[in-house]
Amino acid sequence: WFEGTPGWHIDPSDGFARPIDECVTPGWLQRLYRSPSLVHPIGDLPRLLGEHIPRIAVALKSDLPDLSSVADLVDAQPRMQLWADGDIVEAEAHLKVEYDGQIFEVPSQGFPSPLAFLPAKSGESKPRVVRRDVGTEMMAVQKLLDLGFEPDDEGDELLAFGQDAISFWSQGIGTLPKEWARFVPDDLVGVKIRKETVTSQMRVSSGVDWLSLDLVFGTGDAVVDEDELRAALEGGRNIVKLSDGTYAAVDPDRVGEVLARAAEIFATSGQRQKLPLSQAGRIQDLASLVDGAEIKPKARELFDKLGHVEDIPSIAKPRSLKATLRPYQKQGFSWLVFLHELGSGGILADDMGLGKTLQTIALIAWSQVKEKKKKPNLVVAPTSV
């Protein structure tokens, strides 16, 4: 062994001097000299051929050994497999490849192993080795990257979110090679996105002392469950699945306001049908948010009265009230009677000194005469009154 760059080694057995690569240490050379053949168990073969030997060959600038001396080479073509899961706004995908009936994972980043090892045939000891088509596998990964996917932190899966996921399920998956095997949840096969957005439809009818409110969300003949719609918006999702299996976008501001108003009405009433007439004002406000809301004649008449005090029938002053009501006070008194019969609360607001107390006393006197069941009245007022 002679030091230098490169170093030299003289083999006394044949008298030749040979240059030594910089990666070969004296200790390594002595080990090779004592035992030229390094023996490894057959189970180490995939790791040796797939990782260590190629790295050593690159370092030594030498050719790879002939694989046929240690394994049976199999000429197999790759068959790509796409495994996809998730939902309409979050797609998870990973690729696998099949060689001669054996399945291997394709990493979402980096390079796959250049060799695929297959079990030995029955009665034979040599393992079978396939040279993986790294180029085809990497091109498959690139196709998904081009569709908006990104590798996860572990490099095992590819992920797409939001509009990228929607585009993948509705269009992108159809552009992938037809020869790929696809493993996709049934509810995400053939996804169709409607051009129309989800809107609300509303119908209001009335009975003797109640209002009925029918509220549905959807587009065309397809509807979406109200709870699912609310959950989607609360989760930041602006697309929902309809009853016919298609999907449609949602305007969170417009639809969200309708949902919030409806929830307030139903929560206050404790039911969805036969709402008390006291909810008429809220229902009327809700109807103003819904384009083309259908209001039945009786319900519309009620809403008109709420919006036009002058249309409320005039009520005669009770005889027990020893006072003269001015015209605007008569109108206020009639309005209070209307609200009382409606079962709704109300606020009589006017400037001080214009007779709010008198109008309220008139209502109490009227109820004492008109109502069969006498009930006490609670008055909360400043001591000055």
Q: How far apart are CA 202 and CA 259, in angstroms?
A: 12
Average pLDDT, integer, range 119-127: 76
Q: Check whether 84 has a pLDDT greater than 90.
A: yes
364 CB-contact burial (10 Å; exposed 0-12 / middle 13-18 / buried 19+): middle
Whether the predicted model's global pTM rises above the 0.85 cut = no
Asked whether the beta carbons of 339 and 345 are under 8 A apart, the reply is: yes
Question: Measuring CA to CA, which residue among 129, 302, 131, 111 is closest to residue 206?
Answer: 302
Q: What is the CA radius of gyration of the chain?
A: 41
Give the model confidence (pLDDT) of 302-338 as tens digits: 888 777 767 788 999 999 999 999 999 999 999 899 8
Does residue 1 have a pLDDT over 80?
A: no
Predicted pLDDT of residue 82:
98
> What's the pLDDT at 333?
93
Q: Of the given ranges (35-44, 185-194, 301-310), which has the lowest mean pLDDT? A: 35-44
- pLDDT attached to residue 301: 82
276-280, 322-326, 370-374 — most confident range = 322-326
Residue type, 325: L
pLDDT band at 371 (very low <50, low <70, confident <90, very high): confident
Q: Provide the pLDDT for residue 192.
A: 94
pLDDT at 97 over 80: yes
- Given a cut of 90, is residue 294 above it in pLDDT? yes
DSSP 93: E
pLDDT category, 4, cuts 50, 70, 90? low
Give the mean model confidence (pLDDT) for residues 175-186: 96
Q: Does residue 234 register a pLDDT over 80?
A: yes
What Å distances lie between residue 81 and 92, 98, 117, 155, 177, CA to CA? 14, 8, 18, 17, 10
Confidence tier at 151 by pLDDT (50, 70, 90): very high
pLDDT tens string 48-80: 776 777 777 777 777 777 777 777 888 889 999
The residue with greater pLDDT, 313 or 44, is 313
Structure confidence at residue 6 (pLDDT) = 64
Residue 251 to residue 253: CA distance in whole angstroms = 6
* Residue 2: band (very low, low, confident or very high) from pLDDT cuts 50, 70, 90: low
Distance CA(133)–CA(112), nearest Å, equals 9
Q: β-strand 128-131 against 150-151: which pairing, if any? A: unpaired
pLDDT band at 81 (very low <50, low <70, confident <90, very high): very high
Distance CA(145)–CA(172), nearest Å, equals: 11
Higher pLDDT residue, 183 or 298? 183
Q: How confident is the model at residue 43 (pLDDT cuts 50, 70, 90)?
A: low
Q: Phi and psi of 307, rounded to 5°? A: -90, -15
Supply the mean pLDDT for the chain. 86
Q: Name the token pair of 272.
A: 């969805």
Per-residue pLDDT at 103 exceeds 80: yes
